[in-house]
Amino acid sequence: MSDENRALLAANEAFYRAFAGREADAMASLWARTVPVACIHPGWDVLTDHDAVVASWRRLLANPASPAVRCRDARAYLYGTVGFVVCHEVLPEGVLVATNVFVREDGRWRVVHHQAGPVAVAAPEPAPPASRKLH
Amino acid sequence: MSDENRALLAANEAFYRAFAGREADAMASLWARTVPVACIHPGWDVLTDHDAVVASWRRLLANPASPAVRCRDARAYLYGTVGFVVCHEVLPEGVLVATNVFVREDGRWRVVHHQAGPVAVAAPEPAPPASRKLH
């Protein structure tokens, strides 16, 4: 895996760290500022500009009833200074599948788009290594 | 709107023309060949390589029960040689919201990713111009 691939996956992890930790400022800082962005929350219609997107995340993360989320199975697709990650979002009520699109901006990978939606049957989570089971 | 924006929207239209017309060869030709691709059909888990993606479209379009689809509200987001389009997919059973990611390949916009999922409440379709109502 290339360094850029790793950097893209690290940006995706930062996204889910802010999401799971309800860190609204961190989440806001992850979205691109100098290029257009969009966001499709599960079941919502598309939000088509930066202010609407960041405001939606601030509302979502301010809600103590917002679900605990965990990202797994992240896979990076890289095309120069743009890339996307597909991953599963594990929530108490089920598993979603998500696309997160990133653009290099000021030397960092920043989010320009997020779409998450339900998946009827997600691939099972890999079992822990056998050695762990023996101890 | 820039020429590149128009070209990106035209590629998105070609995607839905192939989809609605069940033109499997046209659909296959729209997907990028030289870079990695992925696809998330509504409710499905993610397909992570070119062969799996193209095979899924061939099965889907070969099915005479596959739904008639119409794209509306397409909006292009352009980042140099990569871009995405968000749009609504109007189906007999409801409206989906979709993300289609494109990359310039051999001088053409080709699809590298598609995700579609349900939207609870899509913005209403614009009413036809008043002049049409009067005739």
Q: What is the ipTM of this complex?
A: 0.90
Residue B126 DSSP code: P
Out of B43, B97, B103, name the one closest to residue A46 (CB): B97
* Cross-chain residue pair B77–A122, CB shorter than 8 Å: no
d(C-alpha B103, C-alpha B92), whole Å = 30
* CA atoms within 13 A of residue B98's CA, in its CB half-sphere: 29
Put simply, whether B42 touches A (Cβ < 8 Å) is yes
pLDDT bracket for residue A65 (50, 70, 90) = confident
Instruction: Say whether A38 and B77 touch across the interface (CB within 8 A).
Output: yes
**Predicted structure pTM score:** 0.90
Q: Is the pLDDT confidence value at A44 over 70? A: yes
Q: How do the pLDDT tens digits run along chain B, 135 residues long?
A: 889 999 999 999 999 999 999 999 999 999 999 999 999 999 999 999 999 999 999 999 999 888 889 999 999 999 999 999 999 999 988 999 999 999 999 999 999 999 999 987 666 665 554 444 444
Tokens of A113: 């788009």
**Rounded Cα distance, A114 and A53, in Å:** 10
Instruction: Give B94→chain A minimum CA distance, Å.
Output: 12
| Structure confidence at residue B67 (pLDDT) | 81
CA A70: distance to chain centroid?
10
pLDDT for position B121? 65
Q: How far apart are CA B96 and CA B121, in angstroms?
A: 10
Residue B115 gets which letter from DSSP?
A: E
Residue A45 touches chain B, beta carbons under 8 Å: yes
**How far apart (Å, rounded) are the C-alpha atoms in residues A53 and B14?**
29
